Structure 1
Amino acid sequence: MTDTGVARRQSIRFLLLYALASAGGAIAYVPFLTIWLPARMSGLAGAADVQSLGYVTFFGAVAASVGGIVFGWLSDRTQSRRPWVAAGLALTIGLLIAMPLADDVTTLVGLIVAWQLALNMILGPLAAWAGDCVPDDQKGLLGGLLAFSPALGAWSGALVTLPGLVSANDRLALIAALVAAAVLPVLLLGRPRAFPELGAPAPAVVADGRAARPTGPAVRMWLARLLVQIAEAALFAYLYFWFRSIDPAMHDNEKARIFSFALTLAVPIALVAGRWADRHDRPFRPLVLAAAVSAIGMVGMALSATPDLAKASYLVFGIATTVFLSLHTSQTLRILPRPEHRARDLGIFNLTNTVPSLIMPWLTISLVPGFGFDALFLLLAALTSVAVLLLATMPQRPRSA
């Protein structure tokens, strides 16, 4: 490869450090929200644990929505990502360590709101940093590497729930240490190659000063991710309770291992699919297939008659959804309308991650008590099928506006 060819590509070293830092966000929230929080909520709220978890999720999602946009906008204004990521890291670690001090639901809600704001001080600027320095022909590879994020988050859940390793409250201190170990390397050692063209103002702004409007592909990508994320959010928040309903004797560590197994298998699939998309310039085709398989997995979960079939169907859903979300995250960077407001716009895109947490609790509270998880899964499969249609009927080679 020529020197020019090398210069057009971001270094693998930075991509790996960036992927590790992104995984730090998942390490911060996956074991906390899937294992520690439901268990803590059961202790604080008793029989009302599912409903109380819904309220906590609702207010946490509001905070995450606001934080993603505000801190993204601030990092755009300051034209700097590192200081915001570093400040968010310090606050996130402090709040994780403080969580066991909450001895009632109200206090826990307050801490979670603050924690969500701090976490999105990391995630908003960090997401935009990739858009600043990863060219389009490496975005598939980036998406594949981002599949390590949920996998490492799940592995951390399996680690902190190992019997006898640490107490339930001390789990959060261990999680905080893992988050620091993941995020600090890119802050201290990350030296990405510069790609000035990736930050150039949109042509419409240069020409007449008017703001570029969202493109058709951007709207479709936003809606498709929203629909898939509603399903992912429901399983993410209530996986603990669903596994408990199909196998009451299942240990927390087994729940974490099943979750981590699905996300681990997704990593090589996402890497292969991402590289295929780069080579063939078909950035969105793997998204269509992954969303379709995700819907099939949810139908299988709804119709499963035995715990083994239910767990197998969950693996299909978990793998496909992880591949979809990882590749979607990187390919979104190519269709944002204004590079100079990249972090702010990613904050708006991040609403597809947080708004489902506002919708999902009410769907769950409305359906599960009367009709069970089966009805919920069938509804979520239908929503994901709409996402398949949105992506399958869009142009397969749109470029950034």
Structure 2
Amino acid sequence: MTQQVGAPTSADRQSMRFMLLYALASAGGAMAYIPFLTILLPVRVEAMAGGAHISWLAYCAFVGAVAASLAHILFGWLSDRTQNRGGWIAAGLVLSCSMLFAMTTASDLSTLLAVLVAWQISLNMMLAPLAAMAGDFVPDRQKGLLGGLLAFSPAIGAASGALVTIPGLADADSRLAIVAVLVAICVLPVLLFARPRAFPELMEPVQQQRGARDPLPRRLVVRMWFGRLLVQIAEAALFAYLYIWLRSISGTIQDDDAAQVFTVTLFVAVPATLIVGRWADRNNRPILPLVICAAVTAAALGVMATATALPLAMIGYGLFGFASSIFLALHSAQTLRVLPRPQHRGRDLGFFNLTNTVPSLVMPGLTLAMVPVFGFSGLFVLLAVLVVLAALLLATVPRPQ
């Protein structure tokens, strides 16, 4: 971590133009997968598989997560080796949008699965170097602001899903084309117009700054990795089973009610993340907001575990979504602060991306083991314990000097 001396000047900061265009590109990345994986793919699989759609969706999720995990590491590493983030982003953008169009030609489930894997690979060809680009150009003193801007990504991704599914706007094939166009509109400006300032210190290995034998960067990375993994397991469980849990409390709730709570929570979290991120920058306290947000997330899970009426359940989930959204956005930015080898930044972020994909593989087994025996209350208590552990891991991270 770099040491701050005196008040930073504009020359010590990345331009706001780059910051905003990068946030737009990150939102474009979210647009590329949130509406497709949550709405468009399930609808297409259900139309093809009929009564077997649940098992086929699970198969698609598993194979897609594996492909995405490996591709993110591979293309992060390749963008490190070639030192050409923009070229890989552009290639991934073209190929991933092409794969969305190819989805419309898949006439059977096997072909759809093959195209899905190709799409995941090409999408992560874009996402991996895009994530590393922030580490190349955003100094530590602006990591909190970066986290706040990144909070727009899931909110805009969710909004794009609502947009493309407006009744009468487009048929199933046209929705994929709309998503591809929206992604291109968001990602291209950072490649064409951003012109970021260079900060040579961001490319200096932390070991050279602190001494090669200093184990602190490694300990930081491990704690940050496990902290995010534990919170993401809870996030994945709620993402998959929110509607079913709410229906178990009140049979009157509809799917659009759950979707509205999810979307409103994401948008409310955006300004809060910006405020918290700027506070972390000004006070040089990058980890403290993560600890607090993890603690609040655990408390929210406790509320959900005890909820027997719909209003309390909604309050608990709203608090959970609010705190966990702030945590994940700020964590993504602060991770760039602790990675020890900038020359391997893209590859290492690929390993951090496993905290996003592994929970999708762990969560179904965890849920099946807990819910039939202990109900959703038991599951939420277990998830709260995991998130408390995440808070404790991060609470022991030393404050930067």
The normalised TM-score by structure 1 is 0.89
- 2:29 aligns with one of 25, 32, 46: 25
Name the residue aligned to 1:12. 16
8 Å CA contact 1:234, 1:364 repeated in 2: yes
Query: In the alignment, is residue 313 of structure 1 matched against residue 312 of structure 2?
Result: no
2:59 matched residue in structure 1: 55
Is residue 114 from structure 1 mapped to residue 135 from structure 2 by the alignment?
no
Alpha-carbon distance change, 366 to 45 in structure 1, aligned in 2, over 3 angstroms: farther
* CA deviation map 1:257-299 (0-9, x unaligned): 3322111011011111101111111100000111112222223
SS in 2 for 1:322: helix
Residues 104/308 of structure 1: CA separation in 2 closer, same or farther (3 Å cut): farther
Superposed, 1:267-346 pairs within 5 Å as 267-346=270-349
Q: Which moved more, 1:44-53 or 1:388-397?
A: 44-53
Contact 1:57–1:361, Cα closer than 8 Å, also in 2: no
CA distance in 2 between partners of 1:298 and 1:365 (Å): 18
Distance apart, 1:361 and its partner CA:
2.6
Question: Given the alignment of the two structures, is residue 97 of structure 1 paired with residue 101 of structure 2, yes or no?
Answer: yes
Compared with structure 1, are the counterparts of its residues 374 and 95 closer, same or farther at alpha carbon in structure 2 (3 Å cutoff)? farther
**Partner in structure 2 of residue 142 of structure 1:** 146
1:385 counterpart = 2:382: no
Query: Is the 8 Å Cα contact of residues 205 and 212 (structure 1) preserved in structure 2?
Result: no
In the other structure, the counterpart of 1:194 is 198
Distance 1:56 1:211, change over 3 A: farther
Q: Is the 8 A contact 2:97 2:180 kept in 1?
A: yes
The Cα of 1:116 is off from its aligned counterpart by 1.5
Report if the CA contact (8 A) 2:140-2:337 is conserved. yes
1:170-204 CA distance string (max 9 Å, x none): 32222212111111111111110011111124444
Query: Any idea what the Cα deviations from partners look like across 1:45-104, whole Å, max 9, x if unmatched?
Result: 455544443332221111111111100010011111111111111111122233344455
The answer to whether the Cα contact below 8 Å between 1:202 and 1:212 also exists between their aligned partners in 2 is: no
CA drift at 1:132: 0.6
Distance 1:73 1:137 in 2: 26
Preserved contact between residue 205 and residue 340 of structure 2 (Cα < 8 Å): no
Higher mean displacement: 293-302 or 47-56: 47-56
Report the aligned-residue RMSD: 2.8
Structure 1: gaps (5+ residues): none
Aligned-partner residue type, residue 100 of structure 2: L
Aligned ranges for residues 211-230 of structure 1 at < 5 Å?
Answer: 215-230=218-233
CA distance in 2, matches of 1:112, 1:363: 26
Q: 1:181 to 1:365 in 2, by over 3 A?
A: farther
**Greater CA drift, 256-265 or 11-20:** 256-265
8 Å CA contact retained: 2:45, 2:57 = yes
Q: Which runs of no fewer than 5 residues in structure 2 stay unpaired?
A: 1-5
What amino acid is the match of 2:190? V
Give 1:79-94 correspondences, 5 Å limit: 79-94=83-98
- Stretch deviating more after TM superposition (383-392 or 51-60): 51-60
When residues 271 and 305 of structure 1 are mapped into structure 2, their CA distance, relative to the original with a 3 A threshold, is: same
CA 1:141–1:3: 2 relative to 1, 3 Å: closer
